[in-house]
Structure formats: structure tokens, C-alpha cells
Structure 1
Amino acid sequence: MSSDKIEKRIELKAPVSRVWRALTDYREFGDWFKVKLDSPFSAGQISRGQITYPGYEHLTWEARIEKMEPERLFSFTWPHVQSFEKTDAPTDYTGAPRTLVEFRLKPIADGTLLTLTESGFDSIPADWRPEAFRRNDGGWTEQMRNIESHVTQNP
């Protein structure tokens, strides 16, 4: 197992067009990912919003949208902070190490194979890299279930 990359795969019983919309429509993404985003995704732009996941509402979500290749690839980079503890100061991502998140879609007989890859953990300082990897690995397991529920319940 690589310490630099997380990979998750799920077969979704939904067409590629439906999964693509769940990933790239900022409102739908926000529904299943648990974030209230400020504006639509646009390649090359920063996306921001408020995390709505219970216990993390004090955090701001920020990502730079890298690629939007319709019904094939959606990717972004996002910053990592050492701690998610609540403070009085807003989260400052300036200079924070970033990882690349890629969602790849492939049509299969019963719907869509969705492959999630997050890479670049080696850019995170060694003393907190294992914790960042652990929490994102668990988080992506949950998010894959979330998108599956979302596209199943909202065809």
C-alpha cells in the first residue's frame, strides 16, 4: 500500500451522466459531500464554501478546480492543515501542502465505475502525514457511500 496515494473504487447503478452531475454540479456535490459551496465549479478557479458535516462546521472548504473533462475526469487540489480544532481565527490555507483529488468515470454494464484517487501525501510534513492519510482514507470511504446513496435516491 502506498503512503502517497489513496484509491477507492465503487460501481454505481447510475449512468455516467448522472454521476458526472453529482460530482460537478456544486449544489449536488455539496449535498453528498456535506459542504455549502459559494459558486459553481470552474476549471482553474478556487472553490470555497462552509463545511456542513457535523463537528466540522467551523471549517472552510477550499479547492482549486484543476480539470473538468465531461463525463470522464473531475479533479481538484486542496490544502491540508495539521489540525481541525476550532479556533477564533479563520482557517488559513496559505502555504499549506496540497493533494490532488481525481474522480474518474467509466461506463460499465450496470452503470458507472467511479474511481477516486487522492495523491501527493508525500508533500505533507512527515510528523503529521500519517494522520492526514488516515483521516482522508476513512473520509473517502464514507464519501463513496455518500455519493452512492445520493445518485440512488436522486436518479
Structure 2
Amino acid sequence: MSHEKTAVDTRSLERQIEINAPAEAVWKALTDAEEITRWFPPEARVEPGAGGSLLWWWAEDIQWPSQIEIWEPNKHLRASYTKPPARDLAPPGPMVMDFHLEARGGKTVLRIVHSGFSAGAGWDDEYDGVGRGWTMEFRSLRHYMENHRGTPRRVAWSWVPLSVSYEEAWRRLMSPLGLLRQGTLDGLREGDRYALTAATGDQLAGEVLTYLPPHAFSGTVEGMNNALFFVLIDKCRGPEVWAWLATYGVPQAEVNAFRDRWSRLLANLFSTG
């Protein structure tokens, strides 16, 4: 993990992960619309090749279109865009995402260099949030590739806007009225085991993937066919709290019921500010 500021008042960030899958499969997960929806946004469109385009879609007001500049299969994908998704920010120039793939003995090292962020303080939330986002999404990709490759995904997504500080929102989430009716996440790191019972009654247990207070937690959920769960406090359309469950082979009715429970929980936690 690294970052740097450049002489033209922009900055870049870098994230890297090793995935136990061949480069061809990781490339497909980055560039095939159906594969993208199995680890990243709920919907995607791809016009392949240099001069083509990508569209990552979460909702009508959260869309991330970009233009493909470099298309070197299994090695290098570059895409650029001119406005951050769902944000009223004007970058100093094009923002560029370079995905580099390196094959290593049947595995793949995937690295992103995301550049073009303004160095101004008004961009700190965007810069930090995107960095957290790639940290989490790369683990989502690895989880999909190593455990569920080729399996369609069903997502339970609940969210509410925030009118309190990130720290206060995190305190509420990490309380007996939120995620931690029973159990704790204190001191846990990536790869550690966790087990908790949320105020919804959901029993969640598995492996910690990310723990970034006061912003994010993600982990596997072994009791739901090795699903992936995360909670996120960050600025998207504005300050928001998300609860997200990515499932594979779990009935839609079960996914919908999970979404409804978490929608009620978030509304109860944050309806009074």
C-alpha cells in the first residue's frame, strides 16, 4: 500500500493483492460484464478493447463510467474518467486507473495505481474513501475467485444517510444495538477468526477480511455458504452507512429477508440523527 503526491498538485494511490487464480481468470473478472457483477457492482457494461468503455452501476445516482485506454489481455487494463461517481468534485485532469496483472506460479498479483486525485484538502475524503474501497473490493474479488468462481451472486444491500460523525456512527454500529449484540472485533486483523451475533439476530462467523475503524469491517460468513459481509461508513452521495451481503448459492428469499432486517436495524440506529 502506497501513495504519493506529484509536482502538479495531484496524488495517486496503489493497492495490491495476490489471488490464487490464473491471470486469464483474473483478467476476465475485470473485463467481462457478467464476471464483474459477481464481485463488484450489481450491474456492469463493457465495450472491450482500447477505445471501449466500462460502466460500473450500483444505483441510478451511483454510476461509474470510464473510457478504456489500454487493453493488454492478462497484463494491463487502463481506464480513465473525468468526474468521481456521485460526487460534486472537479478533478484537475483525467483520473486514471491502471490495473496490472502479473502471473506467479499459477497465481496472480493484481495491482492498481489510481491517479489524478487533487492534492487539495477538499479531496481528502475522496482519496481516503477510494483507497478503502479498493482495499475492500480487492478482497471481494479474491474471495469470489478462490471460493465461488463462475457462480452468480445475490446481494442484500441496505443503506441510510448519515447526519452524525463517522466516529459516532461507528460507535452505534459497534454496539449491542448494532453489529455486536454478542461478540467483539477489538484487536482483530485480516485473517483472524471472528464470531458475533448482531441485533438483527443474525449469527455471523468466519474470517476477517478488513477491519478499518471507524469506517469499515468485512468478513466471510461461513453459515451462509461462505458469503461475504461488510459494513461501511463513508461518503458516497453524502455521508452514508452501508450493510452489504454478497451470497453465492443462497436462495433469493433468504437474501431478501437479510436485507429487510438490516434496513430496519440501520433505520433504528440512525433515524434520530
Output the TM-score relative to the length of structure 1: 0.77
Identical aligned residues as a percent: 24
Give the corresponding residue for 1:66.
69
CA separation of 1:117 and 1:81: change in aligned 2, threshold 3 A: closer
Give the corresponding residue for 2:41.
34
2:133 to 133, 136, 139: 139
> SS of the counterpart of 1:21?
helix
Which amino acid counterpart does residue 52 of structure 2 have in structure 1?
Answer: Q
What is the aligned residue count?
142
1:48 to 42, 55, 70: 55
1:93-137 CA-to-partner distances (Å, cap 9, x unmatched) read: 99885311111111112511111110121xx37242211111110
1:42: how far off? 3.2
Superposed CA RMSD: 2.7
1:34: how far off? 1.0
1:50: how far off? 2.5
Q: Of the two structures, which has the highest relative contact order with CA contacts closer than 8 Å and spacing of 6 or more? A: 1
Q: Is the 8 A contact 1:37 1:47 kept in 2?
A: yes
Distance 1:14 1:83 in 2: 33
Give the corresponding residue for 1:87.
none
Name stretches of at least 5 consecutive residues in structure 1 with no aligned partner: 85-91
Distance 1:95 1:7 in 2: 18
1:104 to 100, 104, 121: 100
Report which of the two has the higher share of strand: 2
Which amino acid counterpart does residue 21 of structure 2 have in structure 1?
Answer: A
1:6 to 13, 31, 36: 13
Q: Is the 8 A contact 2:13 2:114 kept in 1?
A: yes
Output the TM-score relative to the length of structure 2: 0.46
2:113 matches 1:117: yes
> SS of the counterpart of 2:138?
helix
Question: Which one has the largest radius of gyration?
Answer: 2
Distance 2:132 2:70 in 1: 24
2:30 matches 1:20: no
CA separation of 1:115 and 1:80: change in aligned 2, threshold 3 A: same
> SS of the counterpart of 1:2?
strand
Structure 1, 31-40 or 14-23: larger mean CA deviation: 31-40
2:154 matches 1:154: no
Matching of residues 65-104 of structure 1 within 5 Å: 65-81=68-84, 84=87, 97-104=93-100
1:35: how far off? 4.3
